[in-house]
Structure 1
């Protein structure tokens, strides 16, 4: 039997629920919205009656969202974004304002987001952006849970992934992988100078590899690349930061794959070789929940990210 529906959905109360999912406590929602805490609690109780579902349950001295509450927040994010976008368009001259939380991988933060948020702060001071460094799976979870509004994620051509349902993505750039090897090793195992055909990697079958400590995609790329060369890699080291990959390579402790923007050609003791005959690339994607792209603060952040890509990433890749 379906629960009785008691009324129409009120946008003000829906916004309070969304804010609760973002801020965590009713007192924080009250501080952010100007309501008293008791008023926030009453509004949310009315919202439960309006939708005919239990949205909140006690959790110690706080409350947490029920599955129905989380689902309503997911819908609410898109609804409120569309309303805000429509109001801003009708006002015409309204400046974007609000908090935008961004989940992004480390290279994306360093290469793109720092420049993007610097220009954003100068040109759109009403938008406050907070950055959280995460791997793609974590960033997608943040977007779906309403704990982030924008994502900067990546995927590998050798290990493509499908974005989760409810998330829209936009390609930003694609960069090649480079093979990082200890200086002098290619010569010792008989590899020629210059780019390496994937089949020639068999000469490195006895060398230890360095892979990622958090995600599984890196392992899959290494496994597939080596399979194309006819051997199974021996993964000896796992690290998170790509700078550590080059440190280990420079110390002669193994070899690893580095996306072009993460590679440091000047690093002592490391040779970087391009790969040929295989789609060994990393794609960067801009992501947000479906329906949210029109919300003015999100649109402003994403436009500054695109500009930063043009100023930084495309310049580097075009000069290689």
Structure 2
């Protein structure tokens, strides 16, 4: 078995990726200002020509109601909206940050991550007493499986073997990862987010997203909503590229622990299904770059 220390050493010393949240932090600071304008938001984005081009392509796509062509980033901000432009900037920057996958289907991986992000955002909106904004829940959903990408880069051959075992066994993904590496992708992802100096609530949510519903009962709402969003996508076999049905079934207790009726799952998944056009548009823009 590969030693846990070797995996963590790889993350700390060899997997040095810049945090994609720097530009997002700048956007957040502007958006939170009451007198913020589209010009202010565009002013941050336009320093990155590649990002600007991708956002213009998205704003002109059918997925974002692009019936009339626009050519400047300020108009793109107005069409898409301040907060959605922020989550799109994060999504595009994050995908660009990571190297191409060795074993994983990269398209399916990001489709699952984006779908979980939209689902987490939707669940947060469904909780009546929870006021906006809901950006943090989207971010948590988007980042939750990054540990998988680290393992894919660390030892591709070992992860390929693990994937084969997953298909033919009743074991959970996290259990197999711990057997092979001494650590699972949830904890490894949390270590990566800590390396990026992200908030503790996000780190904890990532680390716990495969724990049982009872295990997360006393943790933050962010952790609970991520748990439910991941479960909702897996339960419906929705854009799930790394786990098996067993993984989805054992988290049902988490949904019940939230106080939301399990009957809400279809309506939430339906919402996310409607968002898939936007998810696909994001991935097509990345693919074309």
The TM-score normalised by the length of structure 2 is 0.27
The TM-score normalised by the length of structure 1 is 0.25
Larger Rg: 1
Kindly indicate which of the two structures has a greater share of residues assigned to helix.
2
